Structure 1
Amino acid sequence: MTVVPIQIALGIVIALMLHRPGWGLLRSVTRVSLVVPLATTYAVVGLIGRLIFNRDFGVSNQILGWAGISSWDWLGNQTGAFIAIVVMDVWQWTPFVALIFLAGLSMVPVEIEEAARLETKSPWALLRYVQLPYLLPGLTAVLILRSADVLKLFDMVFVMTRGGPGSATDLVSVYVQRVGFKVFDLGLASAQAIVLLILTIVLSRIYIHVFYREIEGW
């Protein structure tokens, strides 16, 4: 669940940048480029992650070398493997979050936003009192969808680390797969999967209750 707040923060920043007047063709190209990570399957993202964080020829260690830092065995280290998975998941799904928020910002009435810009020079005040109400429905959808995705995340983790080293990246979905198809305790694995479903439903109801607001209520 660590990746969800990161993706929300980055998504809001990207959406606000793309929502600003100007940029023209560059903004259109950026919007189209955001779709590329979404079109990449989890398994392919895992393979890309294995290449990026490879100890011998990975791009990550080359960047560390340029900064004068010695190479790090990312996927062979418990902390490094977890960081690698977080980075790849953020890369893949932050554009989705940004596009959702950008759609919410496009619903803000132009005349209200222009009047607010004349009244205040504070971007925070503009976001809090004018734009945020239109972002909350999208925020609720992002929380529900991304929380469910993180709970069932398997393909990318299995390709990159197979749950290792040790149990550092042994996420719930990887553990359920191990119980069901390596230990062959299908009853326990099925029960765990049902618990995950119930947890997802409970989280969804909490998100809707806490974050969702009708725009007319603001």
Structure 2
Amino acid sequence: MASPALHARGPRKPTRYFGVLPRSPAFWFLIPAIAALAIIGIYPLLLALYNSFHQYKLADLGSGTPFIGLDNYIATLTDPTFWEALGRTALFLCLTLPIEVALGLFAALLLHRMELPWLRAAARVSLVIPMATTYAVVGLIGRLIFNRQFGVANYLTGLIGIPPQDWLANPTLAFVSVMIMDVWQWTPFCALILLAGLSMVPKEAEEAARLETPKWSMILWHLQRPYLLPGLTAILILRSADMLKMFDAVFTMTRGGPGAATEFISVYIQRVGFRLFDQGMASAQAIILLILTIVLSRLYIRFVYREAA
């Protein structure tokens, strides 16, 4: 049994090396994660912020990288092509995200009311498959599906009498094709998040609500909605951030074409940085995109998550 003198000394403080670093094993296990975060996340962000205030052209490194202040930001904000790419990205987000949330909610409600446990488990596993597919592979699958000569899309539309379409050569159809592939890949993510929210609803309250009213819409709005809002906030934040920086799937599927029909903001930033070789301008555009993402996330938290709280 510990002596009273030991209790009087209070909790034992971790031993420190050289008076600075703690000797606790937990601290040393955190060092690899901290180092990876600093190398992969913090350093590139600081480098992009530094480059955004300098003239940094890869094709003219001999002239150096002089400090030019806010010139890159001013040039970006007055660039009509930048705003057109941002507008296409915003349109893609406003059209695709509601579809993913609606289909995900429909799938979550079906799985929530599914009686057979083994069937529910099999459905959950199948939902993970599209999410586990990398963006580049999704783009390649899209190129095969919407190929004019042997694509599945023209075969299915031909069953209802629609003639073959050149999906990836038509600006509107190419935009729709990218939407379809994104909905296929990320609707399961929305379904699983919303299903987790539905599983938090007390079963007794849900059974009592079904006895009171047979309308599922009233049960969803008055009982299940508060449990869905935190997950919905996470979906809005994560999917909006993903769509704003969406590159791999679009680039492998359409390369931003035809013309500029699917040149979203991330594809445009890549073109400025690695085809026009203007790293300073591309860094400024990336910082502006980061600021827009943070502002959008704060709006979601303010208006959606606060209602849940």
> Is 1:196 the counterpart of 2:284 in the alignment?
no
> Is 1:58 the counterpart of 2:151 in the alignment?
yes
Contact kept, 8 Å, 2:273 with 2:281, in 1: the verdict is yes
Which residue is equivalent to 1:14?
107
Alignment of 1:1-218 (within 5 A): 1=93, 2-213=95-306
- Secondary structure of 2:148 counterpart: coil
- Secondary structure of 1:90 counterpart: helix
Kindly tell me the number of residue pairs found equivalent between the two proteins.
Answer: 216
Between the aligned partners of 2:254 and 2:301, the Cα distance in structure 1 is: 34
* Aligned residue identity for 2:230: P
- Secondary structure of 1:10 counterpart: helix
CA shift for structure 1 position 26: 2.1
Between the aligned partners of 1:179 and 1:136, the Cα distance in structure 2 is: 38
**Unpaired runs of 5+ in structure 1?**
none
Contact kept, 8 Å, 1:179 with 1:189, in 2: the verdict is yes
CA shift for structure 1 position 60: 0.2
Between the aligned partners of 1:105 and 1:191, the Cα distance in structure 2 is: 42
Any runs of at least 4 consecutive aligned residues in structure 1 with deviations exceeding 4 A, and if so which?
Answer: none
CA shift for structure 1 position 214: 6.9
CA shift for structure 1 position 24: 3.4
CA shift for structure 1 position 208: 0.3
CA shift for structure 1 position 213: 3.8
CA shift for structure 1 position 23: 3.6
* Aligned residue identity for 1:87: I
CA shift for structure 1 position 66: 1.3
**Unpaired runs of 5+ in structure 2?**
1-92
TM-score normalized by the length of structure 1? 0.97
Contact kept, 8 Å, 2:168 with 2:254, in 1: the verdict is yes
Contact kept, 8 Å, 2:114 with 2:120, in 1: the verdict is no
RMSD of aligned residue pairs (Cα, Å) = 1.0
TM-score normalized by the length of structure 2? 0.69
Q: Higher Cα Rg: structure 1 or 2?
A: 2
Q: Deviation digits for residues 28-85 of structure 1, max 9, x if unmatched? A: 2111100000110000000000000000000000011111110000000001100100
Contact kept, 8 Å, 1:136 with 1:213, in 2: the verdict is no
Between the aligned partners of 2:119 and 2:204, the Cα distance in structure 1 is: 25
Worse-superposed segment, 164-173 or 23-32? 23-32
CA shift for structure 1 position 22: 1.2
Between the aligned partners of 1:58 and 1:130, the Cα distance in structure 2 is: 44
Q: Deviation digits for residues 111-144 of structure 1, max 9, x if unmatched? A: 1111111111111000000000000000000000
* Aligned residue identity for 1:209: R
